[in-house]
Structure 1
Amino acid sequence: MSVRELVVLGTSSAVPTRRRNHNGYFLRWGGQGVLFDPGEGTQRQMRLAGLAASDITRICVTHFHGDHSLGLPGTIQRIARDQVPHPVRVAYPGAGEQYWRRLRHATSFRDTGVIVPQPVGGSGGCPVGEDEPFTVTALPLRHSVPAYGYRLKEPDGWRMLPERLREFGVRGPDVSRLQREGSVELADGRVVELAHCAVPRPGQVFAFVMDTGECEQAVELAQGADMLVIESTYLDSEEHLARGYGHLTARQAGRIAARAGVRLLVLTHLSERYEESEEPNFVSQAGAEFDGPVVLAADLDRISVPGRR
């Protein structure tokens, strides 16, 4: 299977720290590269992570607060400078069109025609290219400004059963034909259906939920996700701040993951108020609600998307 991993570029919230850059998350999905929420310093973090502008095929912006979007001008100008040849689709809240235009043309540079704006609004999907092996769903979240979370899902498929293939006498090129066409006629005239030799295989799902209070849309985005990357700005002791600013605590993030049946929970977007010694509390508080694996993201981590079910 192609490489599917999350490269973490930044994990702080509004204020970067010595150890945590502003937000930035790069999802490698085979030949596709999706950059989420490029905050300040994204170009440098990409370089440290061994990523190039040409690796980016799509950008998804959740909202237009600076820690999630001030890296856009530099990222786009780098795409232009490096003469990236392929289209780069950029999804962002349509209600923030004025901010998109300002960031898109923040300074003078030799522009590129490969940037394809995709403003999102309401509840629905983003147009995808023929080369993209997933659908992209955007749903509104509950924050102080218009904000959207994203869900990437590959189509469901089939897992071939070798013992059934042998039983029905399907071998060699007929196996790929069966996968491709759904049925195959053998030399003896028998017609074998795909369902005779395979079982359904759910497509992989990646969910990205940033600044939000608890809401049903967050659960919907994360439903059955193989990996959920979600903000956990505060610990329980600051729940009142989370409620006031439209953010999540680690415990609330764990509750969303549990309700959605997530396989791997990745916590990020930590407030600068917390010392390194307090960071294990994020995992323990999320784990009080969610009994699956929990990862507290750190800058330049590489986290594999769990294999297909």
Structure 2
Amino acid sequence: MPAAQPGRIVPAAYWTQRILALALTLGVIAAGLIVSRSDQVQWSVIPQYFFDASILQGIRLTLILTFLAIAAGLVGGIILAMLRGSGNSVLVGFAYLYIWFFRGTPLLVQLIFWFNIQLFLPEIGFGSHSIPTNALISSFTAAMLALGLNEAAYMSEIVRGGILAVDRGQSEAATALGYTPYQTFRHIIMPQALRVIIPPIGNQTISMLKTTSLVSIVAAQDLLTRVQNIYAKNFLVIELLFVAASWYLIMTSIAIVMQAWIERRFSQEGPARASSGAPRWSFNQLLWRG
């Protein structure tokens, strides 16, 4: 074997990694062959249901639930973050209690609770004017309440972390220039905090696209519910679940691309990082100062 030339860098041969990579590749190929050659799956019917009208309606509802839940969660999260920094023990206690409860109980339990709320609250109203709870809280409304209220608990921590990541000197400079607390928050703090907030919000949105499948337990007619309705009639369970999984992958892939694009737009001026040892925000001073 000829000697290595002086100054030439010879990469190390990591044989363990190569063997593991080969084993994984062969395993994936073998699994694909086993699945594709199964006589129990009618692969030819999958394209027939991929753009079925009922499936497309389920996709539409899934996207609506995702958008509304994230929007409600973001608004609720901002309010909760402000309450936690209010300095008022009652408001702070309420925010802590809310976050503790909704993060500490399963979302599936919350869905079932809202769907069955009429069991202990038959009517909603004031005085002689009341509406039956069944008429007001439909499966869609129950799904929205559960998803939105639960998401607010997580969004509050995301918003609070983003605001606390901004240097406190920004608020002091805005105050010196005569900015009101709202103007400081709207024009100075939030644009910088968004660089920190957007990545986890994007992750929450992608997660919510899949979490909406839980609403099938209350028959909210989302994508998974529509798929279940179809295979309950034709018994093509695996085929229809493959259709649902494919659509979830498509939607999450699009969301990932959009998240990356938004992150690039907000990071053009660099990340919002305070210098080491710089004072951090006091929520009480930032959002509630007189």
Is the pair's TM-score, using the shorter chain for normalization, greater than 0.5?
no
Higher helix share: 2
- TM-score normalised per structure 2: 0.27
TM-score, L = length of structure 1: 0.26
Q: Which has the higher contact order (CA 8 A, sep 6+)?
A: 2
> Whose strand proportion is higher, 1 or 2?
1
